Amino acid sequence: MAKLFMNRTKQLEEEISAYLDQVSRSGLIFYEAIKSYILDDKDRFNEKFVTITKMESEADEKRRSIKHKLYTYMLIPESRGDVLGLLENMDGIVDCCEKTVERFSIECPEIPEFAQQQFLNLAKFSRKAVEEVVKASRSFFKEINLVEDFINKVHFYEHEADDVEEKLKRTVFQSDIKKFSRKVHLRYFAEKISTISDEAEEVAERLSVYAIKREI
C-alpha cells in the first residue's frame, strides 16, 4: 500500500517536472523562432512554429493529467489549489509563446534592420524571465527558500524587457518609416513579445504568495 502510494507520488513528481521542462522549452523555442524570423530563415522558423504548436497542446494535456491525478489520489489537500493555480498560470506562458510565434507566421511583420537587434533583445529578456520563473517553480516544490531569489530575477528580466520595449517603440515611431500602419504593426509585435515576460512576472507574483503559505 505504502509502496503504491509512493509510486503514485513519484510518477506525479516526474509529470510535474516534465511539465515544467515543457514550459522552459517553449520559452527557448519561442526565442529561436523569433531569431529565425528576423534572420529570414523561413524554413527554420516554420519548423519552430510547428514544434511550439505541438508543444502547447502537449502541455495542456500534461496539465490536465496532473490535475486529474492530484484530485483522484487526494494528494496535497492543503496546497492542491495553489499547485493547480501555478500550473494553469504557467500554461498562460506557453500559450503566449505559441500565440506570438503564430502571429509572426500569419501577419509576417516587416522588421526594419535598425530594429532587429532590439527585437532580439526583447525576445531574449522574455525568454530569460520564463527560464527564471520555471526555476522558481521547481524550487517551490523542492527548495522553498530559493524561490525568492529566482522571483527577483524574473522581476529583473521583466523590467529589462519593459525598457527595451519602450526604447524599441520610440525608435520605431521616430524612424523615417512612412506608413503609420507599419509603425503600429511593429509596436504591436514589440508589445506581444513583451507580454511573455509580463506573464512570467504574474506567475512569479503568485508564486511568492504560495511560497509564504508553504512556510511551516
Partner 1 sequence: MFRILFFLSSGLFLGWSLGANDAANIFGTAVGTKMLDFKIAAVICSIFIILGAVISGAGASNTLGKLGAVEELGGAFIVALSAAVSVLWMTRVGLPVSTSQAIVGAIIGWNFFTNNPTGVESLTKIVGTWVFSPILSAIFSFILFFIVKWFFERSKIHLLRMDSYTRVGLVIVGAFGSYSLGANNIANVMGVFTTSSPFADVNILSLFHLSSTQILFLLGGFAIAVGVFTYSKKVMMTVGTNIFKLSPVTAFVAVASSSLVLFLFASEGLKNFLISHGLPSFPLVPVSSSQAIVGAVIGISLAKGGRNINYKLLGKISLGWITTPIAAAILSYISLFFMQNVFMLQV
> Which spans of this chain sit near partner 1 (rule: CB under 8 A)?
2, 5-6, 9-10, 12-13, 16, 74-79, 83, 140-145, 214, 216
Report the chain's terminal Cα–Cα distance, integer Å.
28
Quick one: cell of 17? 517536472
Rounded-to-integer distance, Cα 41 and Cα 177, Å: 24
Nearer to partner 1, 2 or 106 (CB): 2
Nearest approach, Cβ of 210 to partner 1 (angstroms)? Answer: 10
Nearest approach, Cβ of 16 to partner 1 (angstroms)? Answer: 8
Nearer to partner 1, 141 or 156 (CB): 141
Nearest approach, Cβ of 136 to partner 1 (angstroms)? Answer: 14
Rounded-to-integer distance, Cα 96 and Cα 151, Å: 20
Angle at 22 between CA 20 and CA 27, to 5 degrees: 100
Nearer to partner 1, 6 or 18 (CB): 6
Nearest approach, Cβ of 143 to partner 1 (angstroms)? Answer: 5
Angle at which helices 113-142 and 147-174 pack, to 10 degrees?
170
Nearer to partner 1, 54 or 142 (CB): 142
